Structure 1
């Protein structure tokens, strides 16, 4: 269990779902952890077992080898986890967990990039040319990311993606391939403790530790990335990410070097994440695009 804590109150911005905003002020993109309704407004498919999910993947020909070959991942949004992933054969469990989480991670990162690109566009203009809505939007982001300087360059250091391979590796390690109690019951894959300002939570046996809980996997993933991007203990990660981006070499295997403080296991934790990324080729998913032609929503009943 990691010791990463949320430290900032979240200010609700306008709801915004997976689409770029370039015109009306009301469509300025929200940071993903502030989106309360993140999924497409389509019919939800209810499933009751991991075996049903794997069968659905097969029916739609959702295979990791095709995803990497086509550089496209289906918009297959699984809202929560089945409680029986351990009943699957090992290969189906591992590839199934990656497949169910991959589109969500991509969607969260896409949303961060929308915010980042909007910030970069504003940075290129004089502040006198900003609209009132744009000024308020930037101020909200400064508050949310705890940037005291009011400098967009400093904000951009923090408003950036976490590579998919790193997100998947941490989700795998912290949740035991999606089988932990906190993952199944609270959509908490990344070992977050209850934030100081409160919120939904589950407790360890005896109630000694409160673990953050979330409405869905999107919210849990968005919160984890936001915490990495706002917790001062990870300033080394922000600097390394900036350096790797400038070198056009930003990937999970390299960025996890900055995670020795995430877990009490220290460097052993980093080594394990790198082993997961390498063995399961998790960095191969960084250049994927979400297929926008068709979307699927799946929810498990426990």
Structure 2
């Protein structure tokens, strides 16, 4: 795949059996987490979690701790995007913007590489929590992979810059991005989904209020495994009850309204 911001996820660090824990196995975790909302203030402003390994934990406990670790980071990253989106919605239809609004709009267009307001509105939006959790679980082996532990890379995101530090794979020429902490990894994942050419269809579907299943199908380009990968994502979400956590984020429909 070509393109600086394109994502590939060809390295699976855990067996399919470990990823697809049955709903019964996860029932305790579902009950515990469905009764509580992880608040943003539970995430320390600094330092964010870094160089974490959950490989020492048994599978059930590992998954529980992985969700506990990643969920507030995902919520916080999505909330940051929603702040930008709320600004865009606040100026929608205005005939004349203030100098400050003009400046902010220009900055967002540059950041998200958008030429128009309409395209910018498609790009500045959240990614469903269940989807982020599932991909992080797959790409990191539920917090056990070398890239997760040593590079804070939870999503198997490649580095295409010679100037940026990266961590090389042991059995290939691939080099994955190194982040200062896990929060930066989550932010970069969401940014890439919102900007990369590979996920244009995902963004188009999201802007029309597409279902979670439809959004998952539009992520085939995330991995060379294509449909096999998206089926894995769907099964990880289903078998681990990850949609229970989608209520913690604002709506990802085109309207920008809350659930």
With the shorter chain as reference, the TM-score category is 0.7 to 0.9
Residues 249-288 of structure 1 correspond to what in structure 2 (within 5 A)? 249=211, 251=212, 253-288=213-248
Q: 2:76 aligns with which of 107, 117, 130?
A: 107
Are 2:51 and 2:149, in contact at CA under 8 Å, matched by a contact in 1? yes
Deviation at 1:173, TM superposition (A): 0.7
Q: For 1:82 and 1:231, how far apart are their aligned partners in 2?
A: 28
Describe the superposition over 1:187-231 as per-residue Cα deviations: whole angstroms up to 9, x where unpaired.
101111113474232112277222111111111111011111111
Q: Are positions 1:125 and 2:94 aligned together?
A: yes
Residues 198-277 of structure 1 correspond to what in structure 2 (within 5 A)? 198-205=163-170, 208-244=173-209, 249=211, 251=212, 253-277=213-237
Gaps in structure 2 of 5+ consecutive residues:
7-28, 251-259
Q: 2:56 aligns with which of 87, 94, 100?
A: 87
Q: 2:155 aligns with which of 179, 190, 194?
A: 190
User: Secondary structure, in 3 states, of the residue corresponding to 2:38?
Assistant: strand
Deviation at 1:90, TM superposition (A): 1.1
* Cα RMSD (Å): 2.3
In structure 2, the CA distance between the partners of 1:192 and 1:255, relative to structure 1 (3 Å rule), is same
Are 1:6 and 1:196, in contact at CA under 8 Å, matched by a contact in 2? no
Counterpart in the other structure of 2:33: 67
In structure 2, the CA distance between the partners of 1:197 and 1:131, relative to structure 1 (3 Å rule), is farther
Deviation at 1:124, TM superposition (A): 3.1
Describe the superposition over 1:209-266 as per-residue Cα deviations: whole angstroms up to 9, x where unpaired.
2211111111111101111111112111011111226xxx5x3x44111011110111
Would you identify which runs of 4 or more consecutive aligned residues in structure 1 move more than 6 Å?
none
Q: 1:145 aligns with which of 101, 112, 117?
A: 112
Counterpart in the other structure of 2:128: 163
Residues 30-45 of structure 1 correspond to what in structure 2 (within 5 A)? none
Aligned length: 223
Gaps in structure 1 of 5+ consecutive residues:
8-62, 291-302
TM-score normalised by the chain length of structure 2: 0.79
Deviation at 1:121, TM superposition (A): 0.4
